[in-house]
Every structure is written in structure tokens, then in C-alpha cells.
Structure 1
């Protein structure tokens, strides 16, 4: 009995000594690192806030990448966390919306230091970092897909896309006409801008074409078009979030990023044999990133030779590499790791940068009229609903097809990022690029051709 009491006493002393040895420093301090804002541990988050404030107060904020990575990460994850914690809206894509529109409002209401605004705009224009992001996302997501899925999915996705655009144009124009906006104004200045593929690929070419054909100032045309693009993208983001929530409630309607049922990712087999190798092969990750950039350069060359947008050219090149099995399974696995890194760590900083640099809050607010909102919502919802039911009829996962349909109303590449983030289906980026780039280019071309004939006669 005495020995048992002695052993209990020894155990108590041991646990007490262990507890006292793990005092605040360093073990308690290390536990604070487990508290994170986005991906940033709390001590580093506080340090980033202090350094950003100090640099702003002592002069201009450098626009070099070493500084801007911290600035964009700090504000991007703050805005994302705000969106995630909003009741109800946090579950349907508010994080992506907040990461884009909160900084836009902060710029308009002068709540963001001028040095941060100027440095962000310079960084956005000078680096083209958005295309680095899209390159790694597209290549990684394509390489993570089953080859059979690519072959069947890329051909099948055009049918729900085409049906959705036809129905969306008819419904949107009809609703606008009934609301007294006029069929011409509704079709060319509300509905078509929504499905034009964003700002650079859609709104700007449309405004140039409108100015030449209708003999109006390009700035005037652009000011009328851009709010519709942004509000259409906002509606698509919210819709994508709702679709993600629906998929969780009715899992039989979704493939969680796979368009075709019964198909798994090939890379799972390549990484299951040696799961650690792909994670620790730093040179392999660098090679995968280099491959993504080289494929984007192929896209640039294609743009110069045949006029195809560079991201679309890169998309087709990546698909060709995947279908011909031109790279090893290990390279495929590394590309997927690079994709996951950009998806989890770069998305919200990119959205914050877009909100500051190219999202004018005043134009967004000016378009918030009841008739415009009704037309925009009717157009987006009819487009997405059509994609949902056509995709289901074709034996595809309807929710995932509907998410791709949302991207037809997205604000270009940035809209695709926000929409797929809200839907938690970044792996659909290749199909999103088809919906945005190719679908948008077709819409812009047809709109200008029809408009030119209309004004000729």
C-alpha cells in the first residue's frame, strides 16, 4: 500500500514538474502561433500590422514584391475572415465578396492610406501577378483531373453554356423590356456586358466597339457597362455560394469539382504510393511552377499568332500535355501541390488587390437601381438554372455545371477566382476559363457584329 502511495506521489510530482517546466516561454508562446488569421499566425499578424503602419507613417510604402506580399496577405485575409464570420452570408460566398468589395469601399471612403492604394495599383499593373496565379491554378487543376473527364467534359460543357447564354439573354431582355428599360438598352448595356467575360476581355472591347459604331465617347459607354459587369459578377458569387451550400445538403447532385460522375482524380494513385515525396520535393515544386509559366508563355505566343487570349491558349496547351501524358506522374503531383498552395494562400490577397486596383465603388453603387438589379438577377439565375438542368439531363453533376455557368457572368479571371472560391470548387478553373474567355469572346464578337448591322440599316 505504501509503495502504491509512493508511486502516486511520484506521478503527481512528475506531472507537476512537467506543467511547471512548460511555462509561457517558449511553449505558451508557441501555442499562440496556432491562432491564425487566414494562414497568418497571430504574432506574425500583429507584427505585420505594426510594420505596415510604421512604413506608411514614415514615407511611401514600397511597391516591391517583398513588401506587397505582406500588405496584400494582411488585408486580404482580414477581409476574408470578416466575410467568413458573417451570419448566413458567410456560408454562401461572403468571404470572396468581402475580400473584393471591402477594399473598394475603403478606397472610395478614404479609409485606406494613400500609400497602400498607390503601391497596390503599381504592383498590380507592373507585375501581372494575376496571371501567375491563374497559370498555376489552371495547370494544377487540369493535371489533377482524370484524362477521360477532360476529354468528355470539355466537349460536353459547351452545350449547357450555349443553352444558358441563349436563355439568359432572352429572359434578361424580356424582363428589362417589361420594366420599361427598353429592349435595346437592356440587351446591349445590361445583359451582354454581364456575359462578356469581364473587364479587360469584355467591358473594354465592348465600350470601344460601342463608341465607334454608335459614335459616343468610350468613357461614357464604359461607365454604363462596368457596373453591370461587377453586379453580375457579385450575383454570380452569391449564387455559387448558394450552390455550394445546396451541394452539402444534397450530395447526390454534386461531384465536388468533378463534372462527370464516377471518375476520380488520377493523381491520387500517383501520390498514394509515396505521399511524402511530393510534399518535400522542393525542386519538383519549382519545376512544376516553371512548367505552368512556360505554358502561359505558349499562350502568349498563341495570342500573337492567332489572336486567342493567352489564358485560353495556355489552357489548351495544358490539356494537350495532360492528354498525351507528356509529363511524369511525379510532375503531375507536384503541379497539384503548387495549385493547392495558390488556392489556399494567394486567393484572398489577389482579391484584395483587385478590389483596390480595378473595382470602382462609385460605379458599383450608381448601378444599384431596382430595375437594373432585377434584370441582372434574372439574367444570372436563368443562365445558371439552365446550366443546372441541361447538365443534369446530359448525365453531368448539375451543381458543378451550374457553378461553371456562374462563371459566364464573372468579372474575368478575377471573377472566376471569387466565384470558385465561394463555391469551394477551384478545381473547376479550366472550365471556368472556357466559360469566361471563350464564351465572353463569342458574346462580344456577336454583339458588335449585330450592332454594326443594326446601325448600318
Structure 2
């Protein structure tokens, strides 16, 4: 009988011993470069898992990149885009003469593009799981009780970051609307999977620009904003003293601390008990909420045709209302959370490979990057921190902790960015609050994005 891999202690890739992963990867890559990789979903998934896992590991182990530039996620996106840009992945280069990259008659890029576009089916599938599971997986007290004080701090971060980016954009000749929509908006959106990716779809649905163009322009901003947020968290936590620094406590009164909002051991035990039926129910409920978002969007468009709000936004609002009002049974909430975890842990790198190949044009990225771009990213992050710190102080928070959680944890790259920012600030006990910023705050940005694009999109 073959030995189990459960007790393996060495390097693992895609949660497999690296030797096992290497064998299966060799099979996939051999099929790819012999031109016999299966068509459709099977071949696409196999190739993207191999490439995504390898690039993710490189990013998570490379100094500076792993600490300040988003780690594996950024390397997967840009690495995949580079492989496509330099024609290192088999694809059809000339439809009329049947000219293929490297002479291999396999249009893998075309297959992956069909999988991701034009409907964006896989993106929608991923985002539906992410939104539904992440919101329903939050502690209800954290969502309901903290909202009265915490959300004003988030809005303070959003308003000032947008204002500074817009003013600087006007002064530096980049443009107010362009600075807000293409730099401040994605930086404050909560990373790639829950931020820039759905935002790009919203851009496309509004007719402002294609999703490809939006991703190519926004991705550098997300990466730079993440790096700046981590550095600022470390610096400000050491520089700010006295009444500005709560030394890890968010609220001055002490009547609501992070422990009150943690997931109970009983709930955690239920979450950890996963079975395939739970995953199936989570899939169904997530997709149903997504369909509901489209129903509401249709009726909204009929009633208010001048203001377009994307189905993502309506889904977010609907799920949040159901969570706060305790409408969804607990077991179904757990099912959705488990499905979200399954998708996030197993298919995030796959999604990022698709984004890099199908949506990120390196030529556009290179053309958009400049000193002006860097300054606008820096001012967006400064605005996020100062705006959250100022409003946080008014509602009874310590400014440093408010600026870090409600500000910089809005401007970083989601969950991994939260860990990096709080680690740099030595404030890991504030993780429950940072999750509000990444999950609910990021969702608010999608709603704001829908509204702004319906009003200002034609001015880009």
C-alpha cells in the first residue's frame, strides 16, 4: 500500500509534497509544449494551477516582494502577463496563416481567454463565493455594533484619500477624474480578487473602458498602495506617541474590544467540520445571491436609468442586510463560509493567472507608470490614514489604531495585506477590525465605484 502524504513535513506546493507536485506538473507542462493539452476547462485548470502555484511560491519567498509588494499575488499576475507578452505560452499569433507561438499548434491562450471572457464566467463564480462567504462568515456583533463608530472612520479614509488624489491629479496634470477612478478607487478597494477584478467588470459594464484596460491601469496602483501601507504602518506605530497611540487598543472607553468580536470556539468548531454536502449548499446559495443581485439591478435600472449600480453592489447590500438581521440560518452561513474558503484557498492563484493572461496588458502598465503615478498612490494612502485617524478620534478611537485599521487596511491588498500591515505595526490583535475594512469596506468601494462610474465614467 502506498504511503500517505498527510505526515509530510517538507516543502509543499498546492498542499502536495513538492516531489508529487513536480511529477504532475511535468505531465501538464509536457502536454502543453507537445501541443496535446486537453481543450476546455480540464486543460486550462491544470496549466493555471501549475503556473500559479510556482509563481506564488516564488513571490512568497522573494525578499522585499514578499514583505512590501504583495508577495505571491503580484508575482502570479505579472509573471503570467509576462509569459503571455513574450509568447512563452502556446497561442495563435496569426489567425489567417495559422502561425503559433514557438511553432506549437495549441492555442492555450485562446482557450484560457474563452474560459475567462467574454462573459467573465469564472470571475463571477469566484466573486460570488467571495462576497457571500466573507460577509456571512463575519461575527454579527462585529458587523452591527462596530458600524456606528467604525464606518464613519472608513468613510473618512475614503473621502480624504479621494480628495488628495483628485487635487494632486489636477495639479500634476493627471486629471481629477482619472486620479480618483483609476488610482484611489482600486487602492481603497481591498486588493485584487475582491477589489480591482470586480471593479474592472464594473468599468466594462458601464462602457467606460474594457476590463483589460481597467485591470492594466489599476494593478500597479494596488501593488504600490499595498507596499506604501505596510511601510506607513511600521513607521507611524513607532513615531506616534501619547494620546495618539492606543498601544493596540482601538477604543478609548474600552467598552468594545476585539475579543468581543471574535468567532466563538463553538462556531469555529462547526466551521472546521467540512463535508462535501456543505460545499454544494454554499455554492448554490452564493450563486443564488448573485442572481438576486442581477434581479435588483434590473429593476433599479428600470426605475432609475440615469444611475447604474452593478449587480455586485446589490449582492453585497443584500448579503449584509441578511447577516445583520439574522435572516440566514446559521448552518447555511457556515456552508457559504466553507465554500468561500474552499474557492479562496484552492483557486485564487488560478484566478490570478487568468487575470494576468487575459486582462493585464504589460504595454499599458509600462505606459501608465510614472513618478506622477507613484505620488498619487502615496497621497491616496496618506489620505486613507489621516482621514480614518481624524474621524476615529472624533468617535472615540485612538487615532493611530483607527488610521491603521480603517485606513491602511482599506488601502492594502485584502487578507494578506492586513496581516502584513498589522505585523508591521505590531497590532495583530486588531485583525477583527481590519477584516471589516477589507471585506465590508472593500464592498463599499464597489458600490461607490458603480455610482461614480455611472456619473463620471464618460469624463475619463
TM-score range, shorter chain: 0.7 to 0.9
Post-superposition offset of 1:29: 8.1
Residue 304 in structure 1 maps to residue 288 in structure 2 = no
Aligned with residue 95 of structure 1, among 45, 65, 72: 72
| CA distance in structure 2 between the partners assigned to 1:69 and 1:277 by the alignment | 27
| CA distance in structure 2 between the partners assigned to 1:245 and 1:137 by the alignment | 29
Distance change (3 Å), C-alpha of 1:174 and 1:123: same
Aligned with residue 400 of structure 1, among 391, 400, 405: 405
| CA distance in structure 1 between the partners assigned to 2:170 and 2:274 by the alignment | 59
Query: Corresponding residue for 2:113?
Result: 121
Distance change (3 Å), C-alpha of 1:279 and 1:261: same
Distance change (3 Å), C-alpha of 1:166 and 1:303: same
Residue 36 in structure 1 maps to residue 12 in structure 2 = yes
Post-superposition offset of 1:392: 5.5
Aligned with residue 295 of structure 1, among 289, 305, 314: 289
Distance change (3 Å), C-alpha of 1:348 and 1:446: same
Q: Is the 8 A contact 2:233 2:421 kept in 1?
A: yes
Q: Is the 8 A contact 2:279 2:335 kept in 1?
A: yes
Partner SS, residue 299 of structure 1: helix
Distance change (3 Å), C-alpha of 1:241 and 1:160: same
Q: Is the 8 A contact 1:173 1:191 kept in 2?
A: yes
Aligned with residue 47 of structure 1, among 7, 23, 37: 23
Q: Is the 8 A contact 2:80 2:356 kept in 1?
A: yes
Query: Corresponding residue for 1:108?
Result: 85
Query: Corresponding residue for 1:4?
Result: none
Farther-moved stretch of structure 1 (352-361 vs 166-175) = 166-175
| CA distance in structure 2 between the partners assigned to 1:49 and 1:350 by the alignment | 18
Q: Which runs of 5+ in 1 are unaligned?
A: 1-24, 209-217, 408-414, 453-457
Map 1:155-166 to 2 at 5 A: 159-166=152-159
Query: Corresponding residue for 1:10?
Result: none
Structure with a larger share of its residues in helix: 1
Q: Is the 8 A contact 2:59 2:76 kept in 1?
A: yes
| CA distance in structure 2 between the partners assigned to 1:381 and 1:311 by the alignment | 28
Distance change (3 Å), C-alpha of 1:205 and 1:34: same
| CA distance in structure 2 between the partners assigned to 1:340 and 1:48 by the alignment | 24
Post-superposition offset of 1:98: 1.0
| CA distance in structure 2 between the partners assigned to 1:248 and 1:85 by the alignment | 26
- What per-residue deviation string (whole Å, max 9, x for no partner) do you get for residues 316-355 of structure 1? 2222332333333333333322222223222222112111
Map 1:135-284 to 2 at 5 A: 135-153=128-146, 159-176=152-169, 178=171, 181-182=172-173, 185-196=174-185, 198=196, 200-201=200-201, 203-204=203-204, 208=208, 228-239=217-228, 241-242=230-231, 252=248, 261-262=257-258, 264=260, 268-271=264-267, 275=269, 279-284=273-278
Partner SS, residue 167 of structure 1: helix
| CA distance in structure 2 between the partners assigned to 1:244 and 1:95 by the alignment | 21
Q: Is the 8 A contact 1:285 1:338 kept in 2?
A: yes
- What per-residue deviation string (whole Å, max 9, x for no partner) do you get for residues 168-193 of structure 1? 34433443455xx43xx421333332
Equivalences, count: 398
Post-superposition offset of 1:362: 0.7
Q: Which runs of 5+ in 2 are unaligned?
A: 92-106, 187-195, 239-245, 302-308, 423-430
Query: Corresponding residue for 2:193?
Result: none
Map 1:74-85 to 2 at 5 A: 74-85=50-61
| CA distance in structure 1 between the partners assigned to 2:313 and 2:417 by the alignment | 18
Map 1:272-351 to 2 at 5 A: 275=269, 279-307=273-301, 308-351=309-352
RMSD: 3.8
| CA distance in structure 1 between the partners assigned to 2:284 and 2:435 by the alignment | 20
So what's the TM-score if we normalise by structure 1?
A: 0.73
| CA distance in structure 2 between the partners assigned to 1:320 and 1:298 by the alignment | 13
Post-superposition offset of 1:109: 1.9
Distance change (3 Å), C-alpha of 1:297 and 1:203: closer
Post-superposition offset of 1:90: 0.9
Residue 69 in structure 1 maps to residue 51 in structure 2 = no
Partner SS, residue 252 of structure 1: coil
| CA distance in structure 2 between the partners assigned to 1:245 and 1:48 by the alignment | 41
| CA distance in structure 1 between the partners assigned to 2:3 and 2:237 by the alignment | 38
- What per-residue deviation string (whole Å, max 9, x for no partner) do you get for residues 3-25 of structure 1? xxxxxxxxxxxxxxxxxxxxxx9
Post-superposition offset of 1:403: 4.5
